[in-house]
Amino acid sequence: MKSPVTIPGYVAALYEQAFPPEERRNLTAQQELLNNGALRLAILENNDVFAGFVFYWELTDFVFIEHFAISPEQRGSGIGSGVIRLLEQEHPHMVLEVEPPHSDDAIRRIRFYEGLGFKTYAFPYLQPPYQAGGTPLPMLLMQKGMPPEEHTFTKINSEIYLEVYGCL
């Protein structure tokens, strides 16, 4: 039996700092997904110092990067790009959600991913709410190594909804 993975306090603190409540699960739910093996956690270090984390899902034909954050002190060091390149070696097909380009931070994130070869799907996407009674959030789906056609987007969207968010 697989031993449980515990979310360290420093990962939890960055998770809560980097993502607004409507864009994240509560930590208990996140921990349960890790323990049942559905969700994976990679903790990033740079010179033995905590640098960030990636929560991701290994789905049928792609990896879905659900949450990716670099600590403010480590941003700009190249670790974020390096992590994506390492992940890509094992998983050449990747998908992630980003906020629409309505703020400087959102534009910066989109450009970061575009610089790594990600492309935005041209189809509307709503992130299901993490909290009961929450409102779906307009987001963009970005992909690397996946076909850009609508039928692929629809298949990816359906699998994310079912596996990640538990929606039909």
Q: Is residue 117 part of a domain?
A: yes
Domain count, the chain: 1
Instruction: Examine residue 31 and state whether it is found in any structural domain, yes or no.
Output: yes
Q: Which residue has the higher pLDDT, 2 or 132?
A: 132
DSSP-derived pairing of the beta strands 49-58 and 40-46: antiparallel
Q: Is residue 3 part of a domain?
A: no
Is residue 3 scored above 70 in pLDDT? no
Residue 83 domain flag: yes
Asked whether residue 33 is assigned to any structural domain, the reply reads: yes
121 Cβ contact partners less than 8 Å away, ≥ 6 residues apart = 140, 141, 142, 143, 148, 153
pLDDT for 160 beyond 80: yes
Residue-level pLDDT at 110: 97
For the segment 90-107, what is each residue's pLDDT rounded down to a tens digit?
999 999 999 999 999 999
Is residue 20 domain-resident? yes
Residue 132 has what pLDDT?
86
pLDDT per position as a tens digit, 114-159: 999 999 999 999 999 998 889 999 999 999 999 999 999 999 999 9
Domain of 75? Answer: 9-164
The answer to the question of residue 2 being in a domain is: no
pLDDT at 84 (0 to 100) = 94
Distance CA 28, CA 138 (A): 25
CATH number of the domain that residue 141 is part of:
3.40.630.30
Own/partner long-range contacts of 3-10 (Cβ < 8 Å, ≥24 apart): 4/34, 4/35, 5/34, 5/35, 5/41, 6/31, 7/31, 7/34, 7/41, 8/43, 10/50
